[in-house]
Amino acid sequence: MPYAMPFLKRSIRWCCLYQSTYLSYLNRHQHSLPADSNSRFHPLREPVSIPRWRVQDLGSISRVQVNQPAVIRHAEQIQSRRTVKKDWQAAWLLRAVTCIDLTTLSGDDTPSNIHRLCYKAKHPIREDLLRAMNMHDKGITTAAVCVYPARVADAVKALKAAGCNIPVASVATGFPAAQTPLKTKLEEIRIAVEDGAREIDIVINRTLVLTGQWEGLYEEIHQFRQACGDAHMKTILGTGELGSLTNVYKASMVAMMAGADFIKTSTGKEAVNATLPVGIVMVRAVRDFYWKTGNKIYHHVTGRYAAYHDLPMA
């Protein structure tokens, strides 16, 4: 097993680069992994009614302030802690692979590119490395394949042909800038779902955050949630463009109130994507929302920073 570690690290780092890693703040409280290796932390949910929050609940969001110096100090403390080694490190790296959305969001995507991506999603780690760790029969795959809406049907077809149940995720709502009309955003979600997407990555309108229009942000995300139907909705905040950690916290809370299943740092296409302070603030928002409602929402980080496993488990 030890001799496989350097190769495993390189393989996973290559696999993670510019990809998205899910880090659940409730991981340490989960006593068992899902039986289906292709599932997220919870199965695709049944249709549920989304509760409407009162105006005064949304109004309280505007009064929140984040202590930025304290967050920075906490980030520095986390980075000074020892990390797991040897077998434990290998186990966590393998776990990270099962939380990756293997993604292609390029202008030159073709059906053949999508087919290769889907094969890599089914076989993310070399067979000899898995055998060296006695993990070759555990069904290690990535969590999803993420593509543009126009390529969803290609991905669904390729994964079906491969005989695996890895879900297809699709970006939508004018990814990455979100500067398209609301009607167009909603139609983009519906088309992706109709073509077989089981997860939708929506992008919030950063203008609504920067101008403090929290009720408007809530209403827009709430409409996205309804358009997603049974599909999971991952809400991309674009934290590098929100201006402050306080806005990151407020946007996180509003997104969860509006029905997000995941809150996600960024599109991966901003100048600044996931950072440790941002990760801390979003995880704290997830914790606060859980304490307030009992609903478990998951945290999603994107970009080169996530690839090097620097963000905390919680």
**What is the overall mean pLDDT for the chain?**
82
Pairwise CA distance, residues 183 & 297, whole Å: 27
Percent of the chain with pLDDT over 70: 78
Note the pLDDT of residue 208: 96
Report in angstroms the alpha-carbon separations of 42 from 93, 184, 265: 20, 30, 20
Digit-coded pLDDT (tens) for 260-309: 999 999 998 888 888 999 999 999 999 999 998 888 887 777 654 443 33
Pairing mode, if any, of strands 168-171 and 144-147?
A: parallel
Q: Which residue has the tokens 């060296």?
A: 132
Question: 199, 192 in Cβ contact below 8 A?
Answer: no
Q: Please identify which residue in the block is written with the tokens 């105006």.
A: 55
The answer to whether the predicted template modeling score (pTM) of the entire model surpasses 0.75 is: yes
The pLDDT assigned to 51 comes to 60
Q: Residue 248 in contact with residue 281, Cβ under 8 Å?
A: yes
Contact 15, 100 (CB under 8 A): yes
Task: For the chain, give the percent of residues with pLDDT over 90.
Answer: 63
β-pair type (100-103, 144-147): parallel
Provide the 3-class DSSP secondary structure of residue 101: strand
pLDDT of 60 reads 81
How far, in Å, are 4, 83, 117, 145, 218 from residue 167 at the CA level? 29, 31, 13, 7, 27
**Which one is predicted more confidently, 52 or 133?**
133
What local confidence, expressed as pLDDT, does residue 82 receive? 77
Give how far Cα 55 sits from Cα of 65, 156, 235, Å.
19, 40, 21
Q: Rounded CA gap, 298 and 301, in Å?
A: 10
- Per-residue pLDDT tens over the stretch 13-72: 444 433 333 333 333 333 333 334 344 443 334 444 456 666 567 778 888 999 999 999
The predicted pLDDT at position 287 comes to 93
Q: SS in 3 state form for 163-190?
A: CCCCCEEEECCCCCCCCCCHHHHHHHHH
Q: Give the whole-angstrom CA distance, residue 170 versus residue 172.
A: 6
pLDDT attached to residue 308: 36
Return the sign of the alpha-carbon dihedral for residues 281, 260, 107, 98.
positive
Q: What's the confidence (pLDDT) of residue 313?
A: 33
The residue-averaged pLDDT of 152-176 equals 96
Q: Provide the CA 226 distance to its chain's centre, in angstroms.
A: 19
Residue 212 has pLDDT above 90, yes or no: yes
Report the distance separating Cα 26 and Cα 98, nearest Å: 16
Question: Residue 4 has what pLDDT?
Answer: 52
Please state the rounded mean pLDDT for residues 102-112.
Answer: 94
- pLDDT per position as a tens digit, 179-210: 999 999 999 999 999 999 999 999 999 999 99
Judge whether 231 and 272 are in contact, CB under 8 Å: no
User: Read out DSSP for 33-78?
Assistant: --SSTTS-SSPPPPP-PPPPPPHHHHHHHTT----HHHHHHHHHHH
- Per-residue pLDDT, 52: 64
What pLDDT was estimated at residue 5? 52
Q: What is the pLDDT of residue 22?
A: 35
